[in-house]
Amino acid sequence: MFDAIVIGGSFAGLSAALQLARARQNVLVIDAGLPRNRFADEAHGFLGQDGRAPAAIMRDARHQLCRYPTAEILSGQVLGAQAVAGGFSLRLAGGGERPARRLILATGVADELPTVPGVRERWGSTVLHCPYCHGYEVRDQPLGVLAAHPMSPHQALLIPDWGPTTYFTQGEYDPEPTELLAFEARGVTVERTPVVELLGDAPALDGVRLADGRIVQVAALFTAPRTKPASPLAELLGCEHEDGPTGPYVKIDSWGATSVSGIWAAGDAATPMHNATLASAAGVLAGIGAHQAGVRSVTGE
């Protein structure tokens, strides 16, 4: 039986596993190989890794983790999990089971992109979700914000620091009067006619076509899509969730512990704030928390 199994091998999962490996715990990372950041060519704002491809960062991290003799990485998908005597048992897609005393869920979220034609093929390139991650690379160009939920006006207020901004309400998410005053102060243009198509040779973006036929020039479009858990495991295991501005996430304490004893969660699956650095830091906390809980279980504290 492993001391811990980490489900998910991106920034949060690998960071958690590294702490456990350094604590000389037998830890297994099970990774389906579908990280949320696979659509981005570069990661930004990550200290020491700025401008590197996420795949390259994770490749190095996997290599560093596997130098520890008590760490393993398994490529595969976890289909089910259940509590058993002394811990948990995971059922794998390729058959077989893996037992562990403790679990760390770093399973991430999946983005539910707006259905406007042209969005999906530009996702991670010129259709972006985080200005702190990608805004600098599209600076000083006409930018847009495609509304997707009631928090979209807040995003539109941020973007002018990177370029002149148009907020597309999509006919649904009109700014409140106080937000309109803030838009005016920030120089944000409000366009209430819905965007029906993105234009240009993807992944480049030349502009957007509106429902009335007009074309508005934009070089990049920001949107904060709704999110859903990429894996049903947290729900299957009975972990409580909270509602965030873009979708549900696993409820955790300050060390990443979920509502279910023996289970921790980290990364995008367990926070409304989605960012590579924050995910890595959350993984560190969850890994340490899981180790210290194991010590307490042995000492009877």
Write the pLDDT tens digit of every residue in 186-218: 999 999 999 999 999 999 999 999 999 999 999
* Cβ atoms of 207 and 195 closer than 8 Å: no
Dist CA 126 CA 288 (whole Å) = 37
> What's the domain count of the chain?
2
* Cβ atoms of 62 and 14 closer than 8 Å: yes
Same domain, 123 and 197: yes
Same domain, 71 and 169: no
Same domain, 59 and 205: no
Q: Is the pLDDT of residue 298 over 70?
A: no
> Whole-model pTM above 0.75?
yes
- The residue segments making up the domain with residue 189 are 114-222
Same domain, 47 and 186: no
Of 222, 253, 285, which residue constitutes the final position of a domain? 222
Of 180, 195, 222, which residue constitutes the final position of a domain? 222
Same domain, 100 and 118: no
Q: Is the pLDDT of residue 299 over 70?
A: no
- pLDDT (tens digit, 9 = 90+) per residue, 149-163? 888 999 999 999 999
Mean pLDDT, residues 216-231? 95
Dist CA 226 CA 224 (whole Å) = 7
Residues 6+ apart with CB under 8 A from 88: 5, 81, 82, 99, 100, 101, 102, 103, 237, 262, 263
pLDDT for the residue numbered 181: 97
Same domain, 156 and 76: no
Same domain, 139 and 286: no
> At 80, which CATH number?
3.50.50.60
Angle formed at CA 187 by CA 139 and CA 43, multiple of 5 degrees: 25
pLDDT for the residue numbered 300: 63
% of the chain exceeding 90 in pLDDT: 92
Same domain, 69 and 40: yes
Mean pLDDT, residues 57-67? 97
- pLDDT (tens digit, 9 = 90+) per residue, 256-283? 999 999 999 999 999 999 999 999 999 9
Same domain, 100 and 125: no
Same domain, 80 and 21: yes
Same domain, 269 and 213: no
Same domain, 75 and 11: yes
Of 206, 222, 238, which residue constitutes the final position of a domain? 222
